Amino acid sequence: MDPVRNPFMPGAGSRPPELAGRAEIMASAEVALKRVLQGRNSQSQILLGLRGTGKTVLLNEIREMAEAEGYLTSFLESPENRPLIDMLYPAMLQTLRRLSMTQQARQASTRALRALRGFASAFRIKLGNVEIGVEPDPGVADSGQLEQDLPDMFEAIGRAAQAAGKGWVLLIDEVQYLQEEELSAVIVATHRIGQRNLPVMIFAGGLPQIAKLAGDAKSYAERLFIYPKLGALPPEAARDAIAKPIEAEGAQIDTGAVDAIIAQTHGYPFFLQEWGHHAWNCAEASPIGRHDVDAATQLARRRLDEGFFQVRFDRLTPAEVAYVVAMAQMGTGPYKVNDVAQALGKTAKALGPRRASIIRKGMIYAPAHGDVEFTVPLFDDFLRRTQTRKDTAS
Ligand SMILES: Nc1ncnc2c1ncn2[C@@H]1O[C@H](COP(=O)(O)OP(=O)(O)OP(=O)(O)O)[C@@H](O)[C@H]1O
Ligand SMILES: [Mg+2]
């Protein structure tokens, strides 16, 4: 069918034609945003999910919703090997510049800008050509300890936002890449704005291990945030994700074809887009049938193997590859750390650093103590398909 009219959107963070199965999370975010703007308390949220489950897409939706409610928003993707403040500083500065344009918020914004000035020098942030034309406010946000200064900054921004009759939403994607002290600082800052009832909220997204990381960093983090889980879509939602966009283009898909897509993708959002995309292009005409999905499966597999899976695989060292292949050879996860060690003829302790490095790269995570699991859905399948074949061939 006409590829120009293909509605599917495979890709990182691309808004899907039908945001299926996420109504509950969106509704809870909406309630929280409305409450906080009215000076009522509500927990910030960290969306947790494997690769390709729609975290970035949802953060973008929440951002739009927040703007419609009257918040200023800042969207950061935490950089893998750079300090958070490199991105947070310009975001705070821009927010304050915007707030300072509101007459009633002038004074509070100036105060916050002075705090930011102190923050910038304490953390030696290069101001370049974005000078702040105010004097610092000694003793505010300038200790050089992120855990002390970030709460000061959030409070100052919160007061400025409140004076302007607005709020501030900070969205942080890929939050698992934050350093532990950065995460603690964000948690303490969130705690502070909650205690002061200021109109500031954090929405973050990350791989599942973050809930544990947050709990380790600060024990009260459990109560401070809620952690909506994004997983594979249940069959009804997966059906909507495929059928509705096709119908919106005035075409149809057979029930058997939808079932085949759900079986192949296990309902994972990214894979649904990929299969939908190829099924549309493979079909000669509407309705899209079972054989079109079979052809799409070939294409989608190849594209994923060469792209989505391969780029992640390429980040691993040979020793790390041996580790993940040992996992995959045991079937579907989660896997016992001890079993993986045994398969490699080593102790779990000796493999600790290797495991930690693969976790840091975001390829595996620990769903429970003593277990590991892949962060990329169907990655075990990919490894069995590509790596074990090579093993037996050589
Ligand atoms: N609710 C949904 N229904 C249908 N498709 C979706 C849904 N959510 C996301 N998608 C699609 O899934 C793909 C992945 O989305 P997104 O990039 O937001 O995932 P992610 O969880 O941020 O992944 P990563 O961890 O790799 O960053 C996109 O192609 C998007 O269009
Ligand atoms: Mg993402």
- Give the separation between CA 162 and CA 156, rounded to whole angstroms: 10
Q: CATH classification of 315-393, choosing from 3.40.50.720, 1.10.150.120, 1.10.10.10, 3.40.50.1170?
A: 1.10.10.10
Averaged pLDDT for residues 69-74: 97
Percentage of the chain surpassing pLDDT 90?
84
Q: Does 366 contact ligand 1 (Cβ within 6 A)?
A: no
Q: Does 11 contact ligand 1 (Cβ within 6 A)?
A: yes
Which pLDDT value is given to residue 390?
54
Note the pLDDT tens digit of each residue in 165-186. 999 999 999 999 898 899 999 9
Which pLDDT value is given to residue 127?
65
Indicate the SS3 state at residue 270. helix
The residue ranges of every structural domain in the chain are 23-230, 234-306, 315-393
- Concatenating the DSSP letter of every residue in 319-375 gives HHHHHHHHHHHT-SS-EEHHHHHHHTTS-TTTTHHHHHHHHHTTSEE-SSTTEEEES
Which pLDDT value is given to residue 133?
74
- Which ligand is closest in space to the CA of residue 311? 1
- Give the separation between CA 166 and CA 324, rounded to whole angstroms: 48
Between CA 61 and CA 67, with CA 63 as vertex, the angle to 5 degrees is: 120
For atom 13 of ligand 1, the residue with the nearest CA is 270
Band of residue 136 on the pLDDT scale cut at 50, 70, 90: confident
Percentage of the chain surpassing pLDDT 70?
97
- Give the separation between CA 56 and CA 339, rounded to whole angstroms: 34
Note the pLDDT tens digit of each residue in 342-370. 999 999 999 999 999 999 888 999 988 89
Dihedral, CA of residue 368, residue 372, residue 375 and residue 377, to nearest 10: -100
Band of residue 394 on the pLDDT scale cut at 50, 70, 90: very low
Q: Is the pLDDT of residue 392 over 70?
A: no
**Length of the chain as a residue count:** 394
**Whether domain 23-230 has CATH 3.40.50.300:** yes
Note the pLDDT tens digit of each residue in 25-54. 999 999 999 999 999 999 999 999 999 999
- Give the separation between CA 270 and CA 171, rounded to whole angstroms: 21
Q: In this structure, what token pair is assigned to residue 305? A: 């193997």
Ligand 1 atom closest to Cα of residue 8: 31
Which pLDDT value is given to residue 82?
85
- Return the closest-CA partner of residue 161 out of 50, 241, 72: 72
17 CA to centre of ligand 2 in angstroms? 17
CATH fold group of domain 234-306? Helicase, Ruva Protein; domain 3 (1.10.8)
Q: In this structure, what token pair is assigned to residue 163? A: 């004076």
Ligand 1 atom closest to Cα of residue 16: 31
Note the pLDDT tens digit of each residue in 259-270. 999 999 999 999
Q: Does 26 contact ligand 1 (Cβ within 6 A)?
A: no
23-27, 125-129, 141-145, 214-218, range with greatest mean pLDDT: 23-27
Dmax over Cα atoms in the chain, in whole Å? Answer: 73
- Concatenating the DSSP letter of every residue in 155-203 gives HHHHHHHHHTT-EEEEEEESGGGS-HHHHHHHHHHHHHHHHTT-SEEEE
> Which of 93-107, 114-128, 156-170, 262-276 shows the lowest mean pLDDT across its residues?
114-128
Q: Is the pLDDT of residue 212 over 80?
A: no
Which pLDDT value is given to residue 129?
56
